[in-house]
């Protein structure tokens, strides 16, 4: 788990990005470029949960909770849906804002995430500039800077 250095001005929001594909991770980071304050990266579901629950390598010194979790669905070991369920079932993390970023447009994925109380479901579309503008549009809602709406 590497903590990426904060870029330029540092707004308050700390973001945990859970993503296994380095290219996708880079694109996501590019999209978050001047939005997030501190960006943390987990490469699979187990790493993400270790961090969030203060287990494994984080056992000695539990880190503070992030403001936002950006979660991919297709992950090694523990997939996104399982991570989301674990977070929602634990009172310590039940309130966390979790946004699913995925390339899937399958109805069952969307439905499953909604049922688990996902904050938002955003498709990682191929057209990167469209994706970036979508992230920018929704960012205030994800970080609590705008009223949440479903």
Partner 1 sequence: MKQGKRIVLAGVAASAGAAAAALAGWYFGIPILARLGAGYIPMAPSTAALLLLFAGALGATCLFPGRKWALRLRRAAAAFGTLASLALLVLSSLKIYIEFEHLGLPVPPGAGDFPLGHMSPATALCLMLAGLSLLAAPNDPEQSSEPTPWSLLPACMLVAASGVMALAYIFGSPVLYSGGHIPPAATTVAALFALSVAEASAAWPRRDRSLAPDRAGRREAGLLLLTFLGLSAGILGAGQLSYRHYEQHSRTEARRQLDAVAELKVSELVQWREERLADAAGFFDNPAFLALARPALSSAPDAEALRLLQGWIESHQRYENYNRIALLDPRGIERLAAPADATAPDSALVHDSRSVLAAREITFLDFYRHAPDGGIRLGLVVPIFDQPGAGQPLGFLLLSMDPARRLYPSLLHWPIPSRSAETQLVRREGNEALILNELRFDKDAALALRFSLDRTESPAVAAVLGQSGPREGVDYRGVSVAADTRAVPGSPWFLVTQMDLAEVSAPLRERLWLTVALMAALLLGAGGGLGFLWRRRALGFYRERLAAEDTIARLNAGLEQRVAERTVQLEGAVHELETFAYSVSHDLRAPLRAIEGFAGMLAQDYAAVLDAEGHRLLAVVRANARRMDALITDLLTLSRLTRSELHSARIDMSALAGEVFRAVASPQELQAVSFAADGLPEAWGDPSLVRQVWSNLFANALKFSRPKPQRRILVEGRVAGAMAVYTVSDSGVGFDQAYVHKLFGAFERLHRLDEFEGTGIGLAIVKRIVQRHGGQVLARGTPGEGAAFTFSLPARAPQGATGA
What residue ranges bind partner 1 (CB under 8 A)?
21, 23-24, 27, 30, 73-74, 102-106, 124-129, 131
Distances (CA, A) of 134 to 17, 83, 122: 17, 24, 8
| Beta bridge partners of residue 14, listed in sequence order | 38
Nearest to partner 1 of 24, 120 (CB atom): 24
Output the smallest distance, CB 105 to partner 1, in A. Answer: 6
Output the smallest distance, CB 41 to partner 1, in A. Answer: 17
Nearest to partner 1 of 26, 90 (CB atom): 26
Nearest to partner 1 of 8, 126 (CB atom): 126
Strand order in the sheet with 98-102: 38-42, 14-18, 68-71, 98-102, 120-123
Output the smallest distance, CB 102 to partner 1, in A. Answer: 7
**88 neighbors 117 (Cβ within 8 angstroms):** yes
- Alpha-carbon distance of 75 to 85, in angstroms, equals 14
- Alpha-carbon distance of 39 to 16, in angstroms, equals 6
Nearest to partner 1 of 51, 131 (CB atom): 131
């Amino acid at each position: 788990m590497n903590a990426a250095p904060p870029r330029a001005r540092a707004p308050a929001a700390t973001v945990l990005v859970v993503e296994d594909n380095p290219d996708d991770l880079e694109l996501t980071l590019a999209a978050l470029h001047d939005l997030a304050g501190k960006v943390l990266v987990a490469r699979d579901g187990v790493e993400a949960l270790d961090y969030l629950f203060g287990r494994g390598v984080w056992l000695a010194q539990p880190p503070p909770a992030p403001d936002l979790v950006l979660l991919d669905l297709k992950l090694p070991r523990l997939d996104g849906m399982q991570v989301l369920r674990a977070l929602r079932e634990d009172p310590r993390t039940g309130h966390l804002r979790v946004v699913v970023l995925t390339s899937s447009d399958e109805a069952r994925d969307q439905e499953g995430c909604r049922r688990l109380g996902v904050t938002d479901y955003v498709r990682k579309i191929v057209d990167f500039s469209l994706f970036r503008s979508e992230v920018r549009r929704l960012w205030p809602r994800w970080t609590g800077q705008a009223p949440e709406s479903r």
